């Protein structure tokens, strides 16, 4: 079963009456207090010695990539560079090498050397697919027996099984061999994880089962891999040192940005100025933005996204929790006008939010105007208008106690997941690579954004619906499915997990060349999708951040790597 998610709004209930009471939510407070306000400009400056060492090592690694090594050694080097989080320094070199590898596949009838083992073929497959190159899953046929099953003897090759497992997460639709490979590898790795195996494979197997490389937040995975890479027998000390220096250098930039954003948030003081409890999550919102793009050249986009996140969270709470129906009508109209003059029609608490929201975009206009990119904000505003309009559709459903069909619900709720709006907004700070055509594409509800949004909505609803229903929230996908099909909660969630898996296949397929828009833009959508695996896999990690996100935030934004 699949859900149809169209670009047109679902039907809504008309003639809604007036609310006489307000709902409330008991959201946990921020766990950080004023911690991130304490960073000073002086503490952010890297020392000259580190900068010189960083530059020297960067040149050395570039020489390594250009050296005439065995293909297997070169691919292992690329894999380490990517997993350590420093591939953004060597994009052209890596793409050139992988282009040659891909050409070799195309020039060969077998597309694979019969002497290559499971580890190497899986590594090649993952690196090529992960960088947008099309490569057939038939390369794995050599590992199946005459009955079409994967050979049991493969289970003895732990390194190869781990490599196969990681490769299967880049599968697309109609690749039964990779579906089978995923089940095969997962089953054997879970068995292996319960027995003693040599380090670092023991740690890598356990971590991979918890967080596959392809679906992980890049900075978190880099931080983790830095800690276990020294245990690799073939690890490169120069690369390791460079990765550590680079991580700390970027962390200082991120700390400075977070400090500035925390000051902005502190001045707004929504926690005290609004008459309802908000999800005070500014550090978590910045962490989310870092997950979308951590690279230094995307500072403008990261800072904008880090402000749009918390503003969207407050809008969500207004529509879901506190706002009366007639107030929501006024607010929706004001957002559609996008004019500060509309503020006079709003109740006092909404005025604070409306002014702050418009100010976020006005501030970005100053930076974009100097770059000749002012038109970027037009599309970001249009995406926000559509987002809020769909909040209002949900508010009407809730007001009428209406439970829509699953397809009807998903047409609206995939938009209110925030991912269509956030995808478009993430393009704003991408510089010259984004064009008007790119923005028009993003607003057209393309397949990759639909898939990411479906995954976001389903994963969010599965872990949050009980808490939300306790405070009178609109029916989630779980309630909609249970009503429509007479199903249990477990049956509904099992179906949704299949849909999330299919959504990932859509995302993977849309990231293969030739792409409709430049790959760096698709990476923003992919990275948004990756964050779902961190924040919503087991519970609502955004609302209950102390349980899920605290250690992640600390590892990226507080604790430096030991050199």
Q: For residues 104 and 75, what is the distance between their CA atoms, to the nearest angstrom?
A: 14
CA distance to 112, 370, 516, 546, per residue, from 102 (Å): 11, 41, 20, 44
Question: Model confidence over 341-388: pLDDT tens digits?
Answer: 999 999 999 999 999 999 999 999 999 999 999 999 999 999 999 999
pLDDT on residue 41: 52
Question: Which three-class secondary structure state does DSSP give residue 30?
Answer: coil
With tokens 């607010």, the residue in question is 331
Residue 43 or residue 474, greater confidence: 474
Ranges 24-38, 48-62, 167-181: which has the least confidence:
24-38
Torsion angle in degrees (nearest 10) through CA of 119, 526, 286, 335: -170
Q: Which two tokens stand for residue 427?
A: 């393009």
Residue 393 or residue 22, greater confidence: 393
As a whole number, mean pLDDT of residues 447-475 equals 86
Closest CA to 497 of 462, 467, 528: 462
Question: Which three-class secondary structure state does DSSP give residue 336?
Answer: helix
pLDDT on residue 17: 40
The yes-or-no verdict on residue 12 having pLDDT over 70 is: no
With tokens 């939010």, the residue in question is 353
Is there a cis peptide before residue 224, judged by omega within 30 degrees of 0? no
As a whole number, mean pLDDT of residues 217-239 equals 96
The yes-or-no verdict on residue 230 having pLDDT over 80 is: yes
pTM for the model: 0.94
pLDDT on residue 210: 96
CB 286 within 8 A of CB 263: no
Of the segments 232-236, 378-382, 395-399, which one has the largest average pLDDT value?
A: 378-382
As a whole number, mean pLDDT of residues 452-473 equals 84
Percentage of residues in the chain having pLDDT higher than 90: 84
As a whole number, mean pLDDT of residues 96-117 equals 81
Could you give the domains of the chain? Answer: 66-242 (1.50.10.130), 269-557 (1.10.600.10)
The yes-or-no verdict on residue 466 having pLDDT over 90 is: no
Closest CA to 437 of 353, 362, 356, 375: 375
Confidence of residue 502 (pLDDT cuts 50, 70, 90): very high
Residue 535 or residue 40, greater confidence: 535
Confidence of residue 452 (pLDDT cuts 50, 70, 90): very high
CA angle (416, 458, 204) in 5-degree steps: 120
Question: Model confidence over 528-560: pLDDT tens digits?
Answer: 999 999 999 989 999 999 999 999 999 999 999
């Amino acid at each position: 079963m699949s859900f149809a998610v169209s670009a047109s709004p679902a039907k809504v209930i008309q003639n809604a009456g007036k609310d006489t009471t307000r709902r409330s939510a008991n959201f946990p407070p921020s766990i950080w207090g004023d911690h991130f306000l304490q960073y000073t400009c002086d503490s952010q400056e890297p020392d000259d010695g580190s900068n010189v060492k960083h530059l020297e090592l960067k040149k050395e690694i570039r020489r390594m990539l250009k050296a005439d090594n065995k293909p297997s050694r070169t691919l292992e080097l690329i894999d380490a560079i990517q997993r350590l989080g420093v591939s953004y320094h060597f994009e052209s070199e890596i793409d050139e090498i992988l282009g040659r590898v891909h050409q070799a596949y195309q020039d060969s009838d077998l597309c694979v050397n019969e002497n290559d083992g499971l580890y190497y073929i899986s590594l090649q497959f993952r690196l090529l697919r992960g960088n947008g190159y099309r490569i057939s899953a038939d390369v794995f046929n050599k590992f199946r027996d005459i009955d079409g099953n994967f050979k049991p003897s493969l289970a003895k090759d732990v390194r190869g099984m781990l490599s196969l497992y990681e490769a299967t997460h880049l599968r697309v639709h109609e690749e039964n061999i990779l579906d089978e490979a995923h089940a095969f590898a997962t089953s054997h790795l879970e068995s292996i994880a319960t027995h003693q195996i040599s380090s670092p494979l023991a740690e890598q197997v356990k971590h991979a089962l918890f967080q596959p490389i392809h679906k992980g937040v890049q900075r978190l995975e880099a931080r983790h891999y830095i800690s276990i890479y020294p245990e690799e027998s073939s690890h490169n000390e120069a690369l390791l040192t460079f990765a550590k220096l680079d991580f700390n250098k970027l962390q200082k930039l991120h700390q400075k940005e977070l400090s500035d954003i925390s000051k902005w948030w502190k001045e707004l003081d929504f926690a005290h100025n609004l008459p309802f409890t908000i999800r005070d999550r500014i550090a978590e919102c910045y962490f989310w933005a870092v997950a979308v793009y951590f690279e230094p050249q995307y500072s403008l986009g990261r800072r904008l996204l880090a402000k749009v996140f918390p503003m969207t969270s407050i809008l969500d709470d207004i529509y879901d929790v506190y706002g009366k129906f007639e107030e929501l009508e006024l607010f929706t109209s004001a957002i559609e006008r996008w004019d500060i003059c509309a503020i006079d029609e709003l109740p006092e608490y909404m005025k604070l939010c409306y002014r702050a929201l418009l100010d976020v975009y006005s501030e970005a206009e100053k930076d974009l105007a100097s770059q000749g990119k002012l038109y970027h904000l037009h599309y970001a505003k249009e995406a926000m208008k559509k987002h809020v309009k769909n909040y209002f559709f949900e508010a009407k459903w809730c007001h009428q106690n209406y439970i829509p069909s699953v397809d009807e619900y998903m047409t609206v709720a995939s938009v209110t997941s925030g991912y269509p709006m956030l995808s478009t907004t993430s393009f704003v700070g991408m510089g010259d690579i984004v064009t008007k055509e790119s923005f028009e594409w993003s607003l057209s509800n393309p397949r990759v954004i639909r898939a990411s949004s479906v995954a976001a909505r389903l994963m969010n609803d599965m872990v949050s619906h009980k808490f939300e229903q306790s405070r009178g929230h609109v029916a989630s996908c779980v309630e909609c499915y249970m009503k429509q099909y007479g199903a249990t909660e477990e049956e509904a969630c099992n179906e949704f997990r299949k849909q999330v898996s299919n959504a990932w296949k859509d995302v993977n397929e849309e990231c293969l060349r030739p792409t409709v828009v430049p790959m760096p833009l698709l990476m923003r959508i992919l990275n948004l999708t990756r964050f779902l695996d961190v924040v919503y896999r087991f519970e609502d990690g955004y609302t209950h951040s102390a349980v899920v996100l605290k250690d992640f935030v600390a590892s990226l934004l507080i604790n430096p790597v030991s050199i």
